[in-house]
């Protein structure tokens, strides 16, 4: 019975491709739909969005205050992604990412970009904001398409490598505390 009365829920999910980041998908499968019935609560929602075709760390919670803190652009919470591109990037693009990319409708804050294992077609990207299709749009400025995008971490909390796509687990108290400390 003790678990039923837990104050708030914090779930780490490895979001699979083809699932939407929402509580109600209006007919489409959502990250909340993946959870078993005993984990579902009325106010459970994904903290932020990942595109339908983006995979990786999705935080699902009923803690609106923490979610807002993580998502608020003024808090600059780092989010790490691995982007697989249709063509390689170069050192000039790395420098441009650091300065901040100018999009048609906004300027992105400086971001970190580095090749993964020396492969300039796979980039580790760290952003501190979360605009609509931000990483895809940033690479798009240079004519590069993103073939696959995977979120590896939020703040100081990394996606549990043991979680296969669609699997989830509750965050530990230490992980929740790490997320709180970042805000």
The catalytic residue among 51, 53, 62, 160 is 51
> Is-catalytic flag, 105?
no
- Quote the tokens at residue 111: 């971001």
DSSP 8-state secondary structure symbol assigned to residue 171: P
Q: Is 154 exposed, middle or buried (0-12, 13-18, 19+ CB in 10 A)?
A: buried
C-alpha span between 80 and 152 (Å, rounded): 5
Element (H, E) at 169: strand 168-170
Give the residue numbers annotated as catalytic, written as ranges: 51
């Amino acid at each position: 019975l003790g678990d039923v009365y837990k104050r708030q829920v914090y779930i780490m999910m490895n979001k699979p491709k083809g699932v939407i980041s929402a509580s109600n998908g209006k007919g489409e499968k959502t990250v909340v739909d993946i959870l078993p019935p005993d984990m579902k609560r009325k106010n459970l929602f994904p903290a932020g969005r990942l595109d339908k075709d983006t995979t990786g760390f999705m935080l699902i919670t009923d803690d609106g205050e923490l979610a807002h803190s993580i998502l608020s652009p003024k808090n600059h919470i780092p989010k790490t992604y691995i982007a697989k591109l249709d063509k390689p990037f170069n050192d000039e693009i790395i420098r441009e990412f650091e300065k901040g990319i100018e999009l048609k409708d906004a300027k992105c804050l400086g971001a970190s970009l580095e090749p993964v294992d020396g492969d300039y077609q796979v980039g580790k990207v760290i952003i501190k904001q979360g605009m609509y299709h931000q990483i895809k749009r940033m690479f798009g400025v240079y004519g590069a398409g993103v073939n696959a995008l995977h979120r590896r971490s939020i703040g100081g909390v990394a996606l549990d490598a043991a979680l296969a796509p669609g699997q989830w687990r509750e965050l530990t108290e230490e992980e929740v505390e790490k997320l709180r400390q970042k805000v």
